[in-house]
């Protein structure tokens, strides 16, 4: 019998990304944060950024397996702008943050799963 440690990489050792975003495994689909927001926004005007955990497969929210938190940051200055803490059973891993940007940047969505570690996705947003 194979041990789990021999077949599954330690997902807590690094930030996780899909190996091939066009051909994701079920584990990757369930954990990759999807960023929904405009590609272009007006400078300093608030807009919504929705982060949904899971691409075609919902992530569970149960005591044994849940998303601990979801955050939104930006790469310029490596700034975390927002973070939402989630509780198992009572929350769904989808959040909407209202933010404003002063210049073009890459947004960074992160989520932490209690069983499968830290996952990240990025999206470029241009400011006009």
Q: Are 54 and 119 in contact (CB under 8 A)?
A: no
How many angstroms separate the CA atoms of 85 and 70, rounded? 7
Tokens 């891993």 map to which residue? 93
Q: What is the pLDDT of residues 56-103, one digit of tens each?
A: 888 989 999 999 999 999 998 789 999 999 999 989 999 999 999 999
Number of domains in the chain: 1
- Residue 111 in this model has a pLDDT that exceeds 60: yes
Domain of 60: which CATH number?
Answer: 2.60.40.730
Q: What is the pLDDT of residues 12-66, one digit of tens each?
A: 678 999 999 999 999 999 999 999 999 999 999 999 999 999 888 889 899 999 9
pTM beyond 0.85: yes
Which residue range is the domain that position 18 belongs to? 4-127
Number of H helices, E strands in the chain: 2, 9
- Residue 3 in this model has a pLDDT that exceeds 60: no
| All residues at 6 or more sequence positions from 98 whose CB lies less than 8 Å from its CB, including other chains | 46, 47, 48, 49
């Amino acid at each position: 019998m194979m041990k789990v440690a021999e077949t599954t990489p330690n997902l807590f050792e690094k930030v996780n990304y899909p190996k091939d975003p066009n051909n994701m495994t079920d584990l990757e689909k369930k954990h990759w944060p999807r960023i929904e927001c405009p590609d272009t926004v007006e400078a300093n005007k608030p807009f919504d950024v929705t982060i949904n955990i899971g691409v075609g497969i919902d992530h569970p929210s149960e005591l044994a397996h849940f998303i601990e938190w979801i955050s939104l940051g930006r790469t310029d200055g490596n700034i975390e702008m927002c973070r939402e803490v989630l509780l198992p059973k009572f929350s769904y891993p989808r959040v909407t943050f209202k933010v404003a940007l002063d210049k073009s940047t890459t947004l960074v969505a992160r989520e932490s799963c209690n069983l499968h570690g830290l996952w990240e996705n990025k999206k470029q947003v241009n400011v006009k």
